[in-house]
Structure 1
């Protein structure tokens, strides 16, 4: 990770810490939703670049992979505060209350750890410019997103 990315990660952690310190559930939910919206936007850019009908632009894929890596390492856990499984940020939260259940703590840690690992690996693989390797690694990253959605995201709201 270069200096520019470290600055982004540092800023994200500072912002997350400030939001957490304020501890208004709707602000924490908004920050969490914003982080995942930005993650989704960068993910969509990679998906479009990997589409056979799309145009592969190595530099754009690298930028998006680095942004995803920065988000993954920004301290997202600070945005999962008990009581933020209900309420509205930009929209109604979809977080299941199981995210705060001690019985699910090891599953949550596993899912989060897998996401970080695959996001970090995606940034390394993207730097090679090897489209097939990027596609394989992006698939692994996407599986970690699905793992979190399946376990900790409500489907009905």
Structure 2
């Protein structure tokens, strides 16, 4: 219980700091930073998938799951500031305009994603590959739910 409260407080603090910091970050840099965060999460998802499909190393999985949850809970929403809804020079974005118009639904999807990543980190800390596989699938579903609605295809 204490850990959950601490995570909630840290998440709220990170969001407030990120929101204040985003006001000082140029829109093109916000796009670059959020893309880097998603790439890093994707890389860690790949590490977990590799472990689930091959030789399972619980320490590698736990580290990757913690990294994913850490980034998911870091306040990345602040990197969707004004002017980040379209390409800026050579900095491209695949976010659909609806993302910026449907804040309530985007917030719901973000909360679901954060909860799924936290559940993955908790499952990974327990070391049970079957529990990780289930939680990993839920994170993937959460990613897909947002991508399908708010991300342009390549």
Structure 2 counterpart of 1:49: 51
Structure 2 counterpart of 1:107: 105
Deviations 1:45-94 (A, max 9, x none): 0011111xx22100000000001111111001101113212115985211
Compared CA separation, residues 64 and 15, structure 1 to 2 (3 A):
farther
CA contact (8 A) 2:33 2:79 kept: yes
CA contact (8 A) 1:49 1:56 kept: yes
Compared CA separation, residues 90 and 125, structure 1 to 2 (3 A):
farther
Is 1:31 matched with 2:33?
Answer: yes
Paired positions, count: 148
Compared CA separation, residues 145 and 62, structure 1 to 2 (3 A):
same
Structure 2 counterpart of 1:87: 87
Give, in whole Å, the separation in 2 of the partners of 1:30 and 1:18: 18
Give, in whole Å, the separation in 1 of the partners of 2:119 and 2:36: 23
Give, in whole Å, the separation in 1 of the partners of 2:17 and 2:31: 13
Q: Structure 1 runs of 4+ off > 2 angstroms?
A: 12-19, 88-91
Name structure 2 gaps, 5 residues minimum: none
Compared CA separation, residues 25 and 114, structure 1 to 2 (3 A):
same
CA RMSD in angstroms, aligned pairs only: 2.7
Give, in whole Å, the separation in 1 of the partners of 2:43 and 2:85: 23
Structure 2 counterpart of 1:141: 139
TM-score, normalization by structure 1: 0.83
Give the secondary structure class of the aligned counterpart of 2:126: coil
Give the secondary structure class of the aligned counterpart of 1:85: coil
Give the secondary structure class of the aligned counterpart of 2:28: helix
Is 1:98 matched with 2:107?
Answer: no
Name structure 1 gaps, 5 residues minimum: none
